């Protein structure tokens, strides 16, 4: 069993979650129950699934939760692109967030590979 608070992927995804909250706080209030809520929930899902996966008895179960976390990451990427399309997010902010997100996805993928061996 892993200690989630010691995992770099958990730490990094938690910081990314804070970035999403800060970014969405600048979105129009009209989006409170739209993109703001969707982005925040999906960003919380990444570190939450990593943490929940650590409590599982097998690496196979843990990997399932890591895959859910990656799915949430791709959901966020789509939502960020839509936010940019709607003018809620600058191209620079979009690129910065997507770059951070891809680092997290790669870290999770590498960790998943390690767990499979």
Q: What is the reported pLDDT for 1?
A: 63
Mean pLDDT per 10-residue interval, the chain, length 117 residues: 90 98 96 96 98 93 97 98 97 98 98 93
Show me where the domains of the chain are located. 4-116
Is the model's pTM score more than 0.75? Answer: yes
Whether the Cβ atoms of residue 17 and residue 58 lie closer than 8 Å to each other: no
User: Phi-psi region for residue 87, left (φ > 0), alpha (ψ -120 to 50) or beta?
Assistant: left
Q: What is the reported pLDDT for 2?
A: 77
Candidates 1.20.1440.60, 3.30.70.260, 1.10.150.250, 3.40.50.2300; CATH matching 4-116: 1.20.1440.60
């Amino acid at each position: 069993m892993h200690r989630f608070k010691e995992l770099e992927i958990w730490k990094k995804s938690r910081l990314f979650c804070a970035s999403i909250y800060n970014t969405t706080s600048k979105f129009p209030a009209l989006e409170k129950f739209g993109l703001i809520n969707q982005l925040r929930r999906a960003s919380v899902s990444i570190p939450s699934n990593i943490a929940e996966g650590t409590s599982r008895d097998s690496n196979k179960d843990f990997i399932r939760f890591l895959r859910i976390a990656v799915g949430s990451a791709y959901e966020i990427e789509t939502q960020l692109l839509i936010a940019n399309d709607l003018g809620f997010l600058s191209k620079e902010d979009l690129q910065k967030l997507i770059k951070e997100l891809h680092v997290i996805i790669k870290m999770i993928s590498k960790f998943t590979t390690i767990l499979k061996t």
